[in-house]
Amino acid sequence: MKFKDIYNKAVQRGLKLDPRGVKEVKAELAHIKKQYAKLDKEGKKYFDKERLTNPYSDTRMLYGAPNTEVKRVLMGIDIDVSEVLLADRLNQKRGKKIDLIIAHHPEGTGLIGLGDVMAMQSGVLAKFGVPIHVGESLLAERSGEVGRRLMPANHTKAVDAAKLLDIPMMCMHTPTDNAVTTYLQDIFDKKKPFYVSDIFDILNEIPEYDYARRETIGPKMVVGDENRKAGKIFVDMTGGTGGSKKAFEKLSAAGIGTIVGMHIGDDHRKEAEKHHMNVLLAGHISSDNLGINLLMDDIFTGVDVIECSGFRRFKRKKGNK
């Protein structure tokens, strides 16, 4: 596969699996194109033109020629300078060239855009009964907070290392998070677990969570009780990073009984408890693994995958290499 094909297929698959629905995402892209058309020459010079076709600002080709032929990738949850050096060392030791490094968590320009992608959460909340104007107001405050927190970060550190060693690099974040979110939401909507404990039973049958239970950290209850009735379930695993803690009140009022997420801050946990919700954490790294594996099954053809930085490959389709 070519580098550009992996990137483009990841974006398109992420769009298809977006919990807001394809129609809303395409409307967002059309709106961005209108905004771009109104810019003056100076504005267009500094505009990130990837936004015209890719709605996920945390997913980018970070370094390398788009036509690079990719036969082997190094895939990791987090890629820093150490993983880039690992790729170079593996090339020397094994004599098998790593053609592309893929980070799940964003780096470089992808990290800079993490706060922007959070706007999609208002559309997700709307699907579960939170009015769009309320969701947009909540997310504007939270995305601004995240954006300010990321401003002083050394965004290009890992990418600079990849450039010096001439190893192509990309990050794919929201498309994989969309994959795990839609996958789990579809399962829960279909199976309709009655008790929270039934959710645990479902998760424990999934290879990534089974592995996590044995090797790292499996699904955990952090608010509520597994013997409570689950009620309506909301899978909260996409949209850049954690949203506003004020959303729990709105979700509870909209009839959500249980949230299945990746991670939760203590302030958010207290808000969920205050509004009598159940919160089950499926697991951060294990959920990231599930999303990445689902995406790889759909977009990879003839690509060898070397695992690193918390990633574990579990295939669901025969014939992939």
Domain boundaries, the chain: 3-173+288-308, 179-283
Q: Residue 226: exposed, middle, or buried by beta-carbon count in 10 A (0-12, 13-18, 19+)?
A: middle
Dist. CA 113–CA 122, nearest whole Å:
17
Q: How many helices (H) and strands (E) does the chain have?
A: 15, 9
Q: What is the pLDDT of residues 154-189, one digit of tens each?
A: 889 999 999 999 999 999 999 999 999 999 999 999
Q: What is the mean pLDDT of the chain?
A: 93
> How many other CB atoms are there within 10 angstroms of residue 259's CB atom?
25
Q: Which of 316, 318, 313, 317 is nearest to 72 (CA)?
A: 313
Dist. CA 148–CA 159, nearest whole Å:
21
| Per-residue model confidence (pLDDT) at position 113 | 80
- Taking the CA atoms of residue 219, residue 247, residue 147 and residue 162 in that order, the dihedral angle to the nearest 10 degrees is 20
Contact 262, 288 (CB under 8 A): yes
Dist. CA 172–CA 159, nearest whole Å:
14
Phi/psi at 146 (5° precision) = -65, -45
Q: What is the pLDDT of residues 74-103, one digit of tens each?
A: 999 999 999 999 999 999 987 779 999 999
pLDDT bucket at 320, cuts 50 / 70 / 90: very low
Single-letter amino acid, residue 251: L
**Six token digits for residue 278:** 């159940």
Contact 75, 315 (CB under 8 A): no
Kindly state the average pLDDT of the residues 69-75: 97
CATH architecture of the domain covering 179-283: 3-Layer(aba) Sandwich (3.40)
pLDDT bucket at 53, cuts 50 / 70 / 90: very high
Dist. CA 216–CA 284, nearest whole Å:
11
| Per-residue model confidence (pLDDT) at position 321 | 36
Kindly state the average pLDDT of the residues 227-241: 92
Q: Is the pLDDT of residue 45 over 50?
A: yes
Q: Is the pLDDT of residue 229 over 90?
A: yes
Dist. CA 236–CA 181, nearest whole Å:
7
pLDDT bucket at 214, cuts 50 / 70 / 90: very high
SS (H, E, C) 17-74: CCCCCHHHHHHHHHHHHHHHHCCCHHHHHHCCHHHHCCCCCCCEEEECCCCCECCEEE
pLDDT bucket at 243, cuts 50 / 70 / 90: confident
**5-9, 139-143, 298-302: least confident range:** 139-143
| Per-residue model confidence (pLDDT) at position 319 | 40
